[in-house]
Amino acid sequence: MRPVFSRSIVRALLLAGTLAGASACASKGAEPPRIDLTQFDIVDLTHAYDAQTIYWPNAPSAFSVDTLARGPVPGGWFYAASRFASPEHGGTHLDAPIHFDAKGLSSDAIPPSQFLGPAVVIDISAQAAANPDYRLTHDDVLRFERAHGPIGRGMMVLVRTGWSRRWPDRKAYLGDDRPGRTDALHFPSFGEDAAALLVQSRQVAALGVDVASIDVGQSTEFRVHRLAAAHNVLGLENLTNLEALPPTGALLVALPMKIRGGTGGPLRAVALVPRLPGAPTRQ
């Protein structure tokens, strides 16, 4: 079957091509094409890191930041610097394939091109509201494709559950706020059959979600993590603002900290959403 793209997806792909063309022109000393970002709204999909950032309940520590300097220096100007510490997996972050596969890519080995691609957003917020343990199904994916067109190779599939509005309330977000306990977590996410379709058949680049894991909270075997990792598919967890994205047409840029040998790390994810002619710019 030949992929059918909406006009907005084509615009996003054209922007990606323009970015690549600009890089090629720059390397040859030629004048690069202009990138008109005024035609796109930029949506931040990232929770800020602070003392309330949510980590997996058995994480040995959380985010911390210490002030090293803040104020005037002898030369008369202002200077500020801090030191931070964080486990790799918490807040809006990347799961690198090596997180669940010994032969998977580490954070620094992932090709940069895999951090950028057309995004599709599958909305299961209604199902999740009725069932906090809801799993995205194979049929949900097929239903999405009938409405919005096929999901193609290299796309970034994001599942919107509506859970990010619960951040940073650990009890509401995870279903349980007891430190160290992972046996009573309740939140929706990908189901194994849907992940198998997306990873093995559609050959997507990434699975992302606005909850703490690409597996549901009740998972004990982390089959979605293992399946994604075995195919070097990225996991993007604890995203936010997915309600601001269309089902298709956005370009996702998800850049993690480049940690040598890393199993993941803090992620700054943004989406470029084509604006309709005459539409006001998002603030």
Which of 99, 138, 148, 186 is labelled catalytic? 99
R_g (Cα) of the chain, nearest Å = 20
How far CA 97 is from CA of 2, 76, 160, 230, in Å, comes to 29, 48, 22, 7
Residue 57's CB is within 10 A of a number of other CB atoms, namely 18
How far CA 133 is from CA of 86, 99, 221, in Å, comes to 28, 23, 15
φ, ψ for residue 126 (rounded to 5)? Answer: -65, -45
Residue 118's nearest CA partner among 272, 269, 281, 278 is: 272
Is residue 167 within 8 A of residue 157, CB to CB? The reply is no
89 assigned to active site: no
Contacts with 4 (C-beta within 8 Å, 6 or more apart), sequence order? 149, 150
DSSP state of 261: T
Which two structure tokens, joined as six digits, stand for 124? 């299961």
Residue 116, burial from CB neighbour count under 10 angstroms (0-12, 13-18, 19+): buried
Tell me which residue has tokens 């009573």.
184
Residue 249, burial from CB neighbour count under 10 angstroms (0-12, 13-18, 19+): buried
Residues with a catalytic annotation lie at 99
